[in-house]
Amino acid sequence: MSETDSEVAGTLAKNSSGTGKPGGNPQNNQAVFLSEQAAFAYNTADDAIANLELFYPKDAAPQLDYPYHLVDETQLTTDESRAAMRFMALLADEESRRTLASRGFRSADEPVGETLVSTAGGREPQPFAPAATETGPLPRDLLQEALGMWTITVQSARLTTVVDVSGSMAQPVPGRGSESRLDVTKASLLQGIEQFTPEDEIGLWEFATGLDGPRDYRKLVETAQLGAPAEGKGTQRSKLTAAFKALKPVPNGATGLYDTTLAAYQQAQDTFVKGKFNTVVILTDGANQDQFSITRSALIAALKESSDPERPVPLIAIAVGPDADQAEVDQIAKATGGAGYQVSDPAEIQAVILKAIMAVGQTGAGS
């Protein structure tokens, strides 16, 4: 990930002349995520030798625009308000539109010209294969994979991690000496957090019966940006790292899955952030054991009733170990547009979370 378009373009493979134009150096990127306007600027540069070719993923690329909005308009002075309105009028006049188009920007309310797209590297038909190996449009499953990859690499995530700390999580993992299920789960989560950027938001809950009075769950770390300062000292990332390390099994605690799932889902909906991939990741090593909780059918009904297309929060439920019920977690997760998974070794959790986000991202849920 790079902070500017020019930095992104600088990672492309270089040709034999040493310029930053595409070539055959396998050590550098062969493809990058880039805006249409940035590709236009790249292809029209004076030192352009080989142009970029734009691939527009079907049903995958969000429209990139540059909105102009008056902030606190009622607080503006008369001069400030007039200046703002004049600037908006300037952007809309014909000369300004021509200037923007000449720099590779699309107009908001007009069809884009063929010259702009072709100069930026786009060509028909879309999507396309490279000319040397033309095979027709890419299969839909590859396009869906591209959308999933877009979700995990470009779109910021807002993720609440909910970890089972029932007594069974103290059981040893076969082949790992004295390490328990929770020990290996924590290690996998600590590795996984390194895959997320400072702009991604992650929080932490734990759950087991008898954990917090009548409730089966407890919020340990509020969901916030990993790069944000934490209360006291350090960042959200360091606070979350410490919280992961401090997780401990609750002696004689049972798996209070259903009440916890509903509470975490509703909390994520209430704090939904538009423009991010919002999701809840639930890790459990067993089926629900709280005899006083709602039933599975009642949980699924409540999840479906609470779901809101304007605030999608797909659940990603991971069954850990041989005692967990994948069919159960999958049924629960699918009620929200999510998916259920099972891992025999908790060390696989890190890879499964990323895989799950990509898979759910292919459907467009959570954003």
pLDDT digits 0-9 by tens, 201-253: 999 999 999 887 889 999 999 999 999 999 878 999 999 999 999 999 999 89
Q: Cα angle at 113 between 107 and 116, to 5 degrees?
A: 90
pLDDT in tens, 193-203: 887 888 899 99
Q: For position 258, what pLDDT does the model report?
A: 95
Report the C-alpha gap between 191 and 184 in whole angstroms.
Answer: 11
Does residue 116 surpass a pLDDT of 60? yes
Confidence of residue 17 (pLDDT cuts 50, 70, 90): very low
- The Cα–Cα gap between 285 and 343 comes to 10
Three-class secondary structure of residue 362 per DSSP: coil
Give the separation between CA 181 and CA 352, rounded to whole angstroms. 16
pLDDT tier, 255 (very low <50, low <70, confident <90, very high otherwise): very high
Q: 130-169 pLDDT, tens per residue?
A: 554 444 555 655 555 555 555 555 568 899 999 999 999 9
Gap between the Cα atoms of 340 and 367, Å rounded: 19
- Report whether 329 contacts 343 (CB < 8 A): no
pLDDT band for 42, please (50, 70, 90 cuts): confident
Q: Looking only at Cα atoms, what is the longest distance across the chain?
A: 74
**End-to-end Cα distance, the chain:** 20
The whole-angstrom separation of Cα 187 and Cα 346 is: 9
Q: Are strands 215-225 and 201-212 parallel, antiparallel or unpaired?
A: antiparallel
Look at 283 and 86; give whichever has higher pLDDT: 283
Q: What percent of the chain has pLDDT over 90?
A: 36
Which stretches of the chain are DSSP H helices?
5-9, 36-43, 78-92, 94-102, 114-120, 140-153, 181-193, 236-246, 257-270, 296-306, 326-334, 349-361
109-116 contacts at long range (C-beta below 8 A, 24 or more positions apart): 116/36, 116/40
What's the pTM?
Answer: 0.61
Q: Is 313 helix (H, G, I), strand (E, B) or coil?
A: coil
- Higher pLDDT among residues 251 and 127, named by residue: 251
Q: Is there a contact between 119 and 103 (Cβ–Cβ < 8 Å)?
A: no
Concatenate the DSSP letters of all residues of 325-342 into one string: -HHHHHHHHHTTT-EEEE
Q: Which residues, at least 6 apart from 42, have a Cβ–Cβ distance to it below 8 Å?
A: 5, 9, 34, 48, 51, 52
Find out whether 333 and 340 touch, Cβ atoms under 8 Å.
yes
Q: Is the dihedral of CA 249, 250, 251, 253 positive or negative?
A: negative
14: confidence class by pLDDT, cuts 50, 70, 90: low
Report d(CA 280, CA 335) in Å as an integer. Answer: 13
Domains of the chain: 1-66+105-138 (no CATH), 150-361 (3.40.50.410)
